[in-house]
Amino acid sequence: MSASLAPILITGASQRIGLYCAERLLDEGQPVIATFRSERPGLERLRERGALILHADFADEAGILAFIGQLKARTDRLRAIVHNASEWLSEAPGAEAQTFQRLFSVHMLAPYLINLHCAELLERSNPADIVHIGDDVTRKGSAAHIAYSASKAGLDNLTLSFAARLAPHVKVNGIAPALILFKPEDDVEYRARTLAKSALGIEPGAEAVYLGLRYLLDNPYVTGTTLTVNGGRHLK
């Protein structure tokens, strides 16, 4: 890790958007701390490039606090925290409460506790940022994923509260993406139906989120806002 630059922490960086953002930051010479819950092939690339990889399970308070202790043992400052860890769960009959509690823990409790306990690490860096990766679904809710949408909406509100609490030294913003990357198993019909939901009608790839992250990190006059990256879904 560079001795001159404070690292950026990205949670949930083992695959897809989190992994892409971690690699782009490393391309720029930015030290990265990446968390993972399950070992995946992309983590080896991050290790080979010098990223610090930490296991984290945000399913409950104990796991979150254990991670915070581990983080503070490995670094005394942070340039930014990017809360990307996320789970996509539906409410299975009979397991609704467990699903809600898990999503609340991952999407709200983990960012809340990490922000509170790691603010001192951010305050040793100038500039300093927190970025919450939310979801455009909170704009209108979801009949099929009520707990997911509600917990991501709570994350949006944490953006406002922490922006007020940590100003002026730490900027706190959010990114609300819609479709960014299809999964390999997504069929042609699903892809066409999903692309039709936005005005631009494209699968932009993880670069779209990274550009938003870069904007928020680089702009010194933006805090307490959520950047919508949805291809114009709100226009349809």
> Which member of 148, 190, 215, 221 is catalytic?
148
Is residue 148 part of the annotated active site? The answer reads: yes
Residue with tokens 């922000």: 115
Strand order from edge to edge, sheet including 32-36: 52-55, 32-36, 8-10, 80-83, 128-133, 170-177, 226-229
Distance CA 35, CA 85 (A): 8
Q: Residue 25: phi, psi to the nearest 5?
A: -65, -40
Distance CA 29, CA 16 (A): 20
| Bridge partners, residue 229, by sequence | 177
- For residues 78 and 122, the answer to whether their CB atoms sit within 8 Å is yes
Provide the CA 218 distance to its chain's centre, in angstroms. 17
- Give 104's contacts (C-beta < 8 A, 6+ positions apart): 147, 151, 154
Distances (CA, A) of 206 to 23, 40, 209: 11, 18, 5
Where in the sequence numbering do the catalytic residues fall?
Answer: 148
